[in-house]
Amino acid sequence: MKRDRRPVREQIRSGFVIASKILAAFAIAMTFMAGAEMIRVSTDWRHTTLGFLLIILSIAVVTTTVKFWAGGFFGFVAYGAVRASGGVLVPRAFHISQGYAICLWASVFGMAILSHRFALKKLRISAIDRASLVIAAACMMLAFLSGGNNYRAACVFNLGNIALSISWWADRRSSQGHHRNQPPPAATA
């Protein structure tokens, strides 16, 4: 393990930056989920309107800050995949069926694989990447909001996987096109 050679002041500052990112992500997620819950349970048009405004506000913030949180998204999902593997091993401890535990683990593991490339430091995030990450994050929050322990929640969660798959496919296509457009190496005599 490498020892951090930065000055203590720099390490503390870095810790505060990480903590503020986590708190900001939590606040945005709570704003989104509060808006969705207001829409779900509301009988008054004012609460429904406020719910939609909260969702629009949180999605606007998430969309404009994708580069800021894309790497952390992979870490969060990868942690979820590790936790979901416990459900596969002992589903009764989580009060879920074996079939649902396997479905959940495969879904979260798939999202971790599809979002891994966003953890790279110098990745250029395209418009398709931005949209797929926002959709995946929204689907994850909606699945969590619906209780997270039914197949409907798994279907909503997997809509995020479909969006990330489209982004992955578009990235593969553009990188293949980039390689085709380069001239062949010069032959040496």
Tokens representing residue 46 in the block: 């004012």
162 pLDDT above the threshold of 90: yes
Amino acid in the structure at residue 55: I
Cβ contacts of residue 66 below 8 Å, gap of 6+? 125, 129, 130, 133, 134
Q: What is the per-residue pLDDT for 18?
A: 83
Q: Token pair of 36, please?
A: 């969705």
Residues 6+ apart with CB under 8 A from 126: 167, 170, 171, 174
The Cα–Cα gap between 50 and 5 comes to 49
- Ramachandran sector of residue 147 (left: φ over 0; alpha: ψ -120 to 50; beta: rest): left
pTM, two decimals, is 0.78
Portion of the chain with pLDDT greater than 70, in percent: 90
φ, ψ at 148 (rounded to 5°): 70, 0
Structure tokens at 14: 């870095």
For residues 63 and 114, the answer to whether their CB atoms sit within 8 Å is: no
pLDDT tens by residue, 97-132:
888 888 889 999 999 999 999 888 677 888 999 999
Give the Cα separation of 103 and 38 in Å (integer).
29
